[in-house]
């Protein structure tokens, strides 16, 4: 079965595994997913991730429960892309949460993009 939005599928798998307190979850491999996961790892929402040796073509994501994640939601969808200029990057819960953006310099948080003077596509919100 093909998935029409692979990023939303990854976020849903992580959200579901987080809710039932799983230690890790497998998601299909893609470069953009690895970039999003590296930002999540940097901010403490994911412990670690690696390309799975047992299941070819999948990423094994180790979940972290040190930083609470109440919501993990997709903002930009394949049918309705959401872009933000450098001055219009939204703050999530007055800075307590974060947005992950795809910019011309790569995938990064909204605060990093604002600091570098970049706009781009808003991938997801975490809080």
pLDDT in tens, 83-119: 999 999 999 988 789 999 999 999 999 999 999 999 9
> What is the topology classification, in CATH, of domain 6-63?
Ribosomal Protein S8; Chain: A, domain 1 (3.30.1370)
Q: Is the CATH number 3.40.640.10 carried by domain 72-126? A: no
Question: Given this chain, do its domains 6-63 and 72-126 carry the same CATH topology?
Answer: no
Are 61 and 22 in contact, with CB atoms under 8 Å apart?
Answer: no
**How far is residue 44's CA from residue 64's CA, in Å, rounded to a whole number?**
7
Tokens of 90: 């939204």
Q: Which of 22, 71, 24 is nearest to 50 (CA)?
A: 24
What average pLDDT does the segment 3-29 reach? 94
Domain residue limits, the chain? 6-63, 72-126
23-47 per-position pLDDT tens digit? 999 999 999 999 999 999 999 999 9
Q: Is the dihedral of CA 30, 59, 79, 74 positive or negative?
A: negative
Task: Decide: 124 and 11 in contact? Cβ < 8 Å.
Answer: yes
- The pTM score is 0.91
User: What's the pLDDT at 1?
Assistant: 58
The answer to whether the CB of 13 falls within 8 A of the CB of 25 is yes
């Amino acid at each position: 079965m093909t998935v029409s939005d692979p990023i939303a599928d990854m976020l849903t798998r992580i959200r579901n595994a987080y809710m039932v307190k799983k230690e890790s979850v497998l998601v299909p491999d893609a470069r953009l997913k690895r970039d999003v996961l590296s930002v999540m790892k940097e901010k403490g929402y994911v412990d670690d991730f690696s390309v799975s040796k047992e299941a070819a073509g999948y990423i094994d994501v180790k979940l972290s429960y040190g930083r609470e994640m109440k919501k993990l939601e997709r903002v930009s969808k394949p049918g309705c892309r959401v872009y933000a200029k450098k001055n219009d990057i939204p703050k999530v819960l007055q800075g307590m949460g974060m947005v992950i953006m795809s910019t011309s310099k790569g995938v990064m948080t909204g605060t990093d993009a604002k600091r570098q003077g970049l706009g781009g596509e808003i991938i997801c919100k975490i809080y």
